[in-house]
Structure 1
Amino acid sequence: MLINRNLIVLDLDAKCKTEVIKKMINLAYKEARIISKEDFLKCVLEREEEISTGVGNGIAIPHGKSETVKEALIVFAKLKNGIDWESMDSERVDLIFLLGVPERNKENLHLKILAQLSRKLMDEDFVRLLRNATTEEEVYYILRSIEAS
């Protein structure tokens, strides 16, 4: 499974995207999905410097492909207050999907996950359900449909 209930955080309080990413990486580390928080953070921030992962509609998809990732993952966060993510549409971001895949993956898994997630995020009902969810359990069941698509 790409996601589990322990990789979901609601009402995350953060002031900037680096703080958000660090908090999300901590969840991945606690779940033993990554070996090094520092190495994965560096990888994700390097990708962020290339071009913002703020995709619009209040959504960001920071991601990284790294040797420190033991198992492909999605960490989901819904922010207490939206923050500037330098998104394409200049809107503040409140829904974040942190993706991680092992460097050794030859199947372009990160592209497959991004494609599946992007398709779901074009569905207004899917996004509305996420925004209205109030428990990690609700979010978990909504996000499980990503892997099924």
Structure 2
Amino acid sequence: MKLTDYMTKDMIILDLKASSPHLALHQLIDVMESEGRITNKSDYYKALVNREAQSSTAIGFEVAIPHGKTDAVILPSVVFAKAPEGIEWESLDGDPVKLVFMIGVPEAAAGNEHLRILALLSRRLIDDSFRDGLKEAVTVDEIYAQLSTVEA
């Protein structure tokens, strides 16, 4: 299983411009909607915000992994965005977020798929060179190629 099994190249944003996590989430949700992966933007947004209210999904290393489980999601999906200017996200280490992996899973698939995607990501995100490579990539193809190396 590869991370890219949960996304298309159209689900990569090269230059996310958002002044807050909430604005970032709305932009990423728009991508999910345009790809036909959600049925209700508002329900999905609520799931993301409810999860964020439990604790920040900004895990440090300039990375955030917002995620939500809801029946508004049609199939397990990941949207990736680079935010070169950084977004203040109440990160565990205090650094602004520059890499965002937004995960959406249907409620019925919440346990298996949600944990599988998080496990795939967490194993690679501890690698400085992987994160640096994503930050330095300038095209969707370069990012997609790097993300395709994330596999179980």
Shorter chain as normaliser: what TM range?
A: over 0.9
Aligned residue-pair number:
148
C-alpha distance in 2, partners of 1:80/1:37? 25
Structure 2: unaligned runs, 5 residues or longer: none
Shift of 1:127: 0.7
Determine the structure 2 residue equivalent to 1:115: 119
1:59 aligns with 2:58: no
Scaled by the length of structure 2, what TM-score is found?
Answer: 0.94
AA aligned to 2:118 is: L
The verdict on how the C-alpha distance between 1:59 and 1:106 changes in structure 2, with shifts beyond 3 A counting, is closer
Determine the structure 2 residue equivalent to 1:50: 54
- Residue 149 of structure 2 aligns to a residue whose secondary structure is helix
Query: Which deviations, in whole Å up to 9, do the C-alpha atoms of 1:26-45 show, x marking residues without a partner?
Result: 00110001111111001001
1:80 aligns with 2:64: no
Identity between Structure 1 and Structure 2 (%): 40
C-alpha distance in 1, partners of 2:89/2:59? 9
Shift of 1:128: 1.1
1:1-149 to structure 2, matched below 5 A, reads 1-105=5-109, 107-146=111-150, 148-149=151-152
Structure 1: unaligned runs, 5 residues or longer: none
Query: Which deviations, in whole Å up to 9, do the C-alpha atoms of 1:96-137 show, x marking residues without a partner?
Result: 000011101165210111011000101111111101000111
Structure 1 segments (4+ residues) deviating >2 Å: none
Q: Does structure 2 conserve the Cα–Cα contact (< 8 Å) formed by 1:54 and 1:93?
A: yes
- Residue 75 of structure 1 aligns to a residue whose secondary structure is strand
- The two structures, once aligned, show a CA RMSD in angstroms of 1.0
Shift of 1:12: 1.1
Scaled by the length of structure 1, what TM-score is found?
Answer: 0.96
